[in-house]
Amino acid sequence: MNPVAPNFRNASRDAVKNAQLVAAVRKSSDLLSDLMARAVANTPDFEALRDYGRARKLEISGDLEKYVQSFTAHARAAGAVVHRAKDAAEAARLAIKIAADNGTKTAVKGKSMTAEEVELNEALEAAGITVTETDMGEFIIQLAHEKPSHIMAPAIHRSRAQVAELFTDKLGTPPDLGVEALVAAARKDLREKFLAADMGITGGNFAIADTGSIVLVSNEGNIRMTTTLPRIQLAVVGIDKIIPEMADMPKFLALLARSACGQTISSYMSIVTGPRRAGEEEGPEQLHIILLDNGRSRIAKGPYREILHCLHCGACLSHCPVYRAVGGHAYQATYPGPMGSVISPLISGLGIYADLPNACTLCGRCAEVCPVRVPLPDYLRDLRSDVKKPPFMMKLTAFGANTPSLYRLGMIAMRRMLKKGGKGLMAPALKEWTVCREPPKPQEGESFRDWWRTRSYCK
């Protein structure tokens, strides 16, 4: 994991100073938010769809193991090899074994946050397998040796000019190419790799319990290539992606596509049910599915169960004022933004990600846009009380605030100190406040309580 303990304060302080980063994140987030708003406005029954999504997900997360079993049985019946990984390390071990057993040397990969979660690329590369990211955004950040900064648009933090420079450096393209030429260069580079790869690695947007199918959406076509061309296919899928029936899928897809980038459906959708069948000229000879738990079964039984309902659409990121100000890398976690600030500490422990539940203004925008109504602000608030025992000062002030006479004295004292510019006793408390602001300025004149007493007396 991270060699240095994640520290949101330090990372975010640097991020807000990076004007290019802030501008790039803002531009893309604005666009994605607008696209979603337009798509939602054009969907009259969207609120009913959200209700359906939440209700159905509650059924699933309430009986997760049942659906895992059902999916496993149906996928096996369709000819897939289903593995179950209890944690990230086991998933990585399984993937290496599958690659080694089949003598694979090169892999092409579609964008998968679950693969990021298990650090699959690092594991496979260490085992001598070359993995090429084929999603445009992932391709860019792989060339730059970076991590995704957005779960849906991984290279959202980079400007066109930066990508052009990177391509010149790594692929030898002419300098300062436009977006279309950059995309054409990537197409050319990747096409050969698609045709040559032994293994195709994907995540899964949905796993259908009653058919054992994996559903994958993409706009670029790289997922179709990855699931059709190589002889071995590996799908790494979180068990939270399972939905009961094929009949549920169009509704969840409608929620996902609209919320992710304002579409009715993505350019491509592949429903993969087992490997290539007898006589078929396409598709892998083997389909391996690693079902990743990594804390999900535990989370399903706890108070934050609904975070497993997340469709990974990224709407909460693009709408979050904090995410928009700092981008995804400042979170130093696989999953950034509001959903990430909930799921990351739940998976990896509050000890590592104690900052993240606090990295939120509780503005409520994420809950407003979440397609399956995950109560993200409530969860972030509740997680704060799980982090650690309240500091002594909070307890002391709580006692004061609960004792009317002390509370009144406290208010008077605060007024007086702030009138003197907040120096002296208040200075330490104001240290952080005044990083970007002047001390609060109390109004002149008598306090409300004095005014009320005089008035009541005169009446």
Q: Which residues in the 346-405 window bind other proteins by CB under 8 A?
A: 358-365, 367-368, 378, 381, 383-387, 390, 394-395, 398, 401-404
Q: Which of residues 68-107 bind other proteins (CB under 8 A)?
A: 78
Q: What is the DSSP string of 23-55?
A: HHHHHHHHHHHHHHHHHHHT-TTHHHHHHHHHH
Nearer to other proteins, 61 or 149 (CB): 149
Q: By CB under 8 A, name the one of 50, 56, 158, 373 that touches other proteins.
A: 158
Assigned token pair, 9: 């304060």
Query: Is residue 53 part of the contact set for other proteins (CB under 8 A)?
Result: no
Residues 327-346 touching other proteins, rule: CB under 8 A, are none
> Which residue carries 């149906």 as its tokens?
74
Contacts with other proteins in 180-199 (CB under 8 A)? 180, 182-184, 186-187, 190-191, 194-195
CB of 87 to other proteins, least distance (A): 27
Beta carbon of residue 329, minimum distance to other proteins (angstroms, whole number): 14
Q: Which residues ranging from 105 to 134 are in contact with other proteins (CB under 8 A)?
A: 134
CA–centroid distance for 131 within its chain: 22
- Verify binding: residue 264, other proteins, rule CB under 8 A: yes
- Residue 451 in contact with other proteins, rule: CB under 8 A: yes
Q: How far is the CB of 74 from other proteins (least distance, A)?
A: 9
Burial of 47 (C-beta count, 10 Å sphere; 0-12/13-18/19+): exposed
Find the part of the chain contacting other proteins (CB under 8 A) among 23-31, 306-314, 331-339, 340-348: 23-31
Q: In the window 212-231, what residues touch other proteins (CB under 8 A)? A: 213, 219-222, 224-225, 227-229
* Residue 356: partners with Cβ closer than 8 Å, 6 or more residues away: 8, 331, 333, 340, 341, 344, 345
Q: Which residue, 141, 152, 131, 148, is CA-closest to 232? A: 131
The answer to whether the CB of 225 falls within 8 A of the CB of 194 is: yes
Residue 27 binds to other proteins (criterion: CB under 8 A):
yes
CB nearer to other proteins: give 299 or 359: 359
Pair of tokens at residue 212: 């054992």
Q: Where are the alpha helices (DSSP H) in 263-364?
A: 296-300, 315-319, 321-326, 337-348
What SS3 state is found at 325?
helix
Closest to other proteins by CB, 103 vs 404, is: 404
